[in-house]
Amino acid sequence: MKQTNMRVLGIESSCDETAAAIVENGRVIESNVIASQVDLHAQFGGVYPELASREHVKAVHATVNEALQQAHMGLGDLDGIAVTRGPGLAGSLVVGVNLAKGLALSTDLPIVGVNHLEGHLYSAWLYPADSKPTPEPKFPLVALLVSGGHTELILMRGHLQYQLLGGTSDDAAGEAFDKVARLLELGYPGGPSIQKAAMQGNPRAFNFPKARLNDPWNFSFSGLKTAVLRTVEDFKASKKQLPTADIAASFQAAVVGALFEKTIAAAKEFGAIEIIVAGGVSANKALREAFRSQTEFRVHIPHISLCTDNAAMIAAAGYRHFMADEFSALDFDVQANWALATNA
Ligand SMILES: Nc1ncnc2c1ncn2[C@@H]1O[C@H](COP(=O)(O)OP(=O)(O)OP(=O)(O)O)[C@@H](O)[C@H]1O
Ligand SMILES: [Mg+2]
């Protein structure tokens, strides 16, 4: 499929954000609308699946309409529809997928079901229509995908080519942030609240383990989480005031150190010329600083607003599938568990 200006409508509903966006040529954001349920789920300290799907049903039509309106477009201006097929909560995914199918059927537009993680990676290609183009990532590259459910190092030799170099053997980085935030009685979601607390703390106050596994490309955060738990318990037992900011800063430094060091080492080992850092945790300021302060590799990190779940990234990934003549038949189903990359 080749055409000069291809406008893709992206729809995302895999977790707790209902999102719709229009992206031109896989890069230019014409609109990007997100209806977040985060405040609703905060009372449960995590995402409540049944509630999430009901909220998606309520929000999805208005979100797509808003994306069209903000881009000053109608359905007739679109060239394709991309929707998150998985991984995620099945009941949530189905809401976006069904609307996307209905729109494709009524407009005759091509449709493609996209892997949500692939979306996170393609967020590195995006920039807003009213700003200067950002440099386009070049292959081969190593991508660090760090989100609420995933921590993976992926080698990309070209578009849509994913080789898994390593992943986490226990918690995802974002999950570790969320769990440690709960231990420290900071708010949900944990990443932003730990980052905020860490700003007042000393990252060298506690020497938490950085989890260097024997396998050079795998991560582990459970030992770190346990070390934080022990520290918190020791302070509580001795009735001393908990140095929350210092613990948050030291924990954040340990996570950032492990993510940064392994990514740089993998990029060297596998001959990458550039690096992508994407997914919710890539919004973390300390992590962004760590990658920005090295000069060996050009590093692409999406704008903070594009790190967590959004539909522009789904449209961006969908565009690459359309360019490769990859479409989905209208009877495709959601895929709640769906690995993006394999180590083949
Ligand atoms: N500033 C930050 N620092 C660290 N972590 C952050 C920051 N902002 C968000 N996060 C973390 O990012 C995660 C959410 O990211 P994202 O929305 O990509 O995850 P998800 O969609 O739930 O999971 P996945 O993409 O793996 O399916 C949460 O765990 C959150 O704590
Ligand atoms: Mg995500």
Q: What is the pLDDT of residues 55-101, one digit of tens each?
A: 999 999 999 999 999 999 999 999 999 999 999 999 999 999 999 99
Domain range holding 110? Answer: 7-126+306-323
Based on the fold, state whether residues 62 and 167 are members of the same structural domain. Answer: no
Protein residue whose Cα sits closest to atom 26 of ligand 1: 149
- For residue range 129-164, what is the model confidence (pLDDT) as tens digits? 999 999 999 999 999 999 999 999 999 999 999 999
pLDDT surpasses 70 at 193: yes
In a domain, 131, yes or no: no
The closest residue, in CA terms, to atom 15 on ligand 1 is: 280
Element of type H or E holding 122: helix 116-122
The C-alpha atoms of residue 160 and residue 145 are separated, in whole angstroms, by: 15
Domain for residue 338, yes or no? no
If one residue of 147, 150, 260 were mutated to test the ligand 1 pocket, choosing by the most ligand atoms within 8 A of its CB, it would be: 147
Rounded mean pLDDT, 228-232: 97
Ligand 1 pocket test, pick from 122, 195, 308 with the greatest ligand atom count within 8 Å of Cβ, gives: 308
Whether 279 lines ligand 1, by a CB cut-off of 6 Å, is: yes
Q: Angle CA(319)–CA(323)–CA(329) in degrees, nearest 5?
A: 80
212 and 258 together in one domain: yes
Q: Say if 266 falls within a structural domain.
A: yes
Q: Are 279 and 147 in contact (CB under 8 A)?
A: yes
Together in a domain, 318 and 242: no
Indicate which CATH number applies to the domain containing 70.
3.30.420.40
Smallest CA separation from ligand 1 atom 19, residue: 148
Mean pLDDT of 272-301: 98
Residue 328 lies in a domain: no
Looking at the fold, whether 195 and 227 belong to one and the same domain comes out as: yes
Neighbouring C-beta atoms of residue 337, cutoff 10 Å:
8
Distance from residue 243's CA to the centre of ligand 2 (Å): 31
> Is the backbone of residue 279 left (phi > 0), alpha (psi -120 to 50) or beta?
left
41 close to 48: Cβ distance less than 8 angstroms: yes
Calculate how far, in angstroms, residue 178's C-alpha sits from the geometric centre of ligand 1: 9
Are both 20 and 150 inside the same structural domain?
Answer: no
**Domain-located, residue 84:** yes
Whether pLDDT at 26 is above 80? yes
Atom 1 of ligand 1: nearest residue by CA position: 284
